[in-house]
Structure formats: C-alpha cells, structure tokens
Amino acid sequence: MCDEQDLARWARGKVSRRAFGGGAMAVGVAACAPVNADVDRPAAGGLTERMVSFAAPGGTMDGFFVHPADRASPLVLLWPDIAGLREAKRQMARRLAGEGYAVFVANPYYRDVAGEQFADFAAFAAADGFQTVRPWRAKLDAPAIQADARAATAWLDTQDGVDTARGIGTQGYCMGGPFTVWSTAAVERMRAAGSFHGGGLVRDDADSPHRMLRGDAHYLIAIAQNDDAKEPDAKTALREAADAAGAAAEIEVYPADHGWCVPDSPAYDQPAAERAWGRLLATYAEAL
C-alpha cells in the first residue's frame, strides 16, 4: 500500500505536480463548479451536488453528495484514499453519478477536521501529509468505520436523491479498501463492495476484512501489482475466504501500481483505471 518513502520521493520532485493526474484531471472539468454546503447546485450532465453534514458517532460527519437531478438512484458510499476528500474524488463521484448513482464521498477524518485538507496528492506529499493524518487515521478501525457507514447510509436514505428500494454499493481506494468490506458487514442493504489497491485486507486480527465477507454480497477486489509483490498470499486468503462465505467475488491483480485508479496519483494508469471502472459498473449493475 501507499507508504511514506514513496511520498517522500514524490515530494522531492522526482514526480512533478504536473504528473499527478496530467490530462486525466481535465476529464469533467465542466462539472467542477464551486460547491456550497447544504445548497443544491446544478452540475454538468443533469446532476445535483452539494456538501452535506450530519450527526455521526464521532461528531459531525461531512462529505460531498452528488446524484441525478431528475430521479432517485441507488446509493454508493465512496471512501477516499489517505489524502482524503478533494477534487479528484469529487470528479470520480460526478462520473459515477452520471451513470445513475447517488454518490456520497465521505470525509474519513471528520472526527478531527472538516472538509478538504489537501488540494491533491501532490499537495499531500509536499506537506508531509502522512505525519498530519497519522493521528486521524489511527482512529479509523473497524468499529469506527462500521458506525460511520451506518450513520451515513441512514442519513442519506432520508434524501430525495436516494432510491431506498435498491441495494447500496461502496467503493474505496488505498486505506478506503478495507473500509468497504467493514461497511458491507455493517449495513444489511449494502450489497456490493469495490476495493481498489486497498491495503490491509488480510490481517491477523479478528476484524480483518477477509473474515467479514458476506455470502449475499458482491465483491470486486482489484489489487496493485506492487502490493501483490509485497503480500503475495493475500489474494489467496481472500479467494479462500470468499469461497468459504459463498460470496460472489472478483479478485484480480492488475498490471499497475498502487494508486493506479486515482487521477491525481503519480501512479495513475488510465488503461488499467478504465478497465477497473468498467468492472465496477458491471458489479453495481448486477448487485444493486
């Protein structure tokens, strides 16, 4: 998974700010209007978006909510990577909303700070973001994430843009990967989880995500090739756990490095990211 040595190297300039996303960040630029809290704003493609906040076990949870303007849609809970809520994640949410989903991008660090803390991954690296988020991230264990998932989905179900008769999906990147499995274990209506270059999916403790797979849920677990090189047995443990639970699970090592799905990551790989995106849409279409 993402580590401090990589970020230190990127911050020293071996990977320039321009390389963080490049042309990929231009996708959906028309949809990047400023967002005011708790005020619906029209976005490109017939979408409505706003920043929202609501009561949660850790305080006031906040995040970005975007959905089709003309209909209620299946809900998706999106867990960001370690750099948190930012424009790259809002763009990813807008793209998914354009496919017919109501998407909430959570601020995973709401217990300590509200809203965006880093403009992009380059800013995170340059600011020694690991040191900043370390105490925030330490609070995000399985019980905390499960409580957050229950609170978020309960509040979002009260919003007109959400179709409560449909199943819920969740997707996560880097540290958000295991959050998707924990969330699915906590929310009965959550029927699909997508983990992209997720870290810590197989652990020794009782709360290890691979021990929490549900037989009635669909899982898409896309593993980075360099993560697989570090933990080659993880994919086998995940496969065995999914089979034992009777869960539908697509588990694959992609020929791309950690971070390949995120447009502002220096490891962004557009062909591999588009393939993972296609598999995510297929998983949601089948499960939700």
Give the domain CATH number at 193. Answer: 3.40.50.1820
With tokens 């999914």, the residue in question is: 242
- How far, in Å, CA of 126 to CA of 11, rounded? 5
Q: What is the pLDDT of residue 229?
A: 98
* Cβ pair 60, 151 in contact under 8 A: no
Cβ-based neighbours of 288, under 8 Å, separated by 6 or more: 74, 166, 167, 168, 169, 191, 192
Quick one: pLDDT at residue 27? 35
Q: What is d(CA 186, CA 189) in angstroms, rounded to the nearest whole number?
A: 9
Tens digit of pLDDT for each residue in 207-263? 999 999 999 999 999 999 999 999 999 999 999 999 999 999 999 999 999 999 999
Q: Does the pLDDT at position 16 exceed 60?
A: no
At residue 94, does pLDDT exceed 80? yes
pLDDT band at 109 (very low <50, low <70, confident <90, very high): very high
Domain that holds residue 278: 4-287
pTM: 0.89
User: What is the predicted pLDDT for the residue at 44?
Assistant: 59
Phi, psi of 108 (to 5 degrees): -70, -20
pLDDT (tens digit per residue) in 24-69:
333 333 232 333 345 455 665 699 999 999 999 999 999 999 999 9
User: What's the token pair of residue 45?
Assistant: 């493609």
The domain total for the chain is: 1
